[in-house]
Amino acid sequence: MNEEKVIIAGFGGQGVMLMGQILSHAATVADLNTTWIPSYGPETRGGTANCAVTIGEERINSPVVSVPDSLIIMNQPSLDKFQKKLKKGGILIANKSQISDAVYRDDIEVYEVDANKQALEIGNLRVANMVMLGAYIAVTGVFSKDDMFAVFEKIFTGRKSELIDLNKKALEAGIRAVGK
């Protein structure tokens, strides 16, 4: 595979960091190289949070992602901040539920997902992040649904194992939302 660089951005509390970590976990399981870097400190308090994930077969140099191949955008401020960085022809997955002013570049591929609505239908707004992640893997083909399920089993342990089913459903809803 080619190196994949994705930035995931949204409000603190939308589970943005976890989305990135799940991708890096999946890469680790697949014996690929990967880096995950967070924005941290005051940046993450109340305001926007973002993380950058790189996945590749070869050694990863800069973990800092200046020109992402893909963007997962959870809200309006993040769209405003990151859209301009996306590479030409890059993929943008946007959470339509949190974007009021959707003006997209015309040299990129945009997929809108009503992630909040989907999550609520499944029964928990908090899995909107997994809906978005489902859409992302479906569009990019970076990982399969089963790859992600395997990660869920790995990281949701103990009391959190109750969350596995919910997250699986959310992921599948995201995959369906982009018609895959």
Partner 1 sequence: MAKVLMKGNEAMALAAIEGGCDAFFGYPITPQNEIPEYLSRHMEERGRVFVQAESEVAAINMVYGAAGAGARVLTSSSSPGIALKQEGISYIAGSELPCVIINVMRGGPGLGGIQPSQADYRQITKGGGNGDYHLLAFAPENLQETVNIIKESFALADYYRNPVMIAVDGLLGQMMEPVDLEAAPKTEVPPEKAWAADGNSDRKGGRNVITSIHLDPLELEKHNRKLQKKYDEMVAKEQRYEMIETADADIVFVAYGSMARIARSAVKTLREEGIKVGMIRPITIWPFPEKAFDELPASVKSLLTLEMSLGQMHEDVRAANNGRFELDFYGRTGGVVPEPEEIIDHVKRMLEKEGSS
Residues that bind partner 1 (CB under 8 A): 21, 24-25, 27-28, 31, 33-38, 40-42, 61-64, 66-67
Closest contact distance (angstroms) between CB of 7 and partner 1 is 13
Closest contact distance (angstroms) between CB of 122 and partner 1 is 27
Q: Phi first, then psi: what are they for 8, rounded to 5°? A: -120, 125
Nearer to partner 1, 41 or 179 (CB): 41
Nearer to partner 1, 151 or 177 (CB): 151
Nearer to partner 1, 125 or 155 (CB): 155
Q: Which helix (H) or strand (E) segment is 112 a member of?
A: strand 109-113
> How far, rounded to the nearest angstrom, does the alpha carbon of residue 145 sit from its chain's CA centroid?
14
Closest contact distance (angstroms) between CB of 24 and partner 1 is 5
Q: Which helix (H) or strand (E) segment is 53 a member of?
A: strand 48-56
Q: Which parts of the chain fold into alpha helices (H)? A: 16-29, 76-82, 115-122, 128-140, 145-155, 163-177
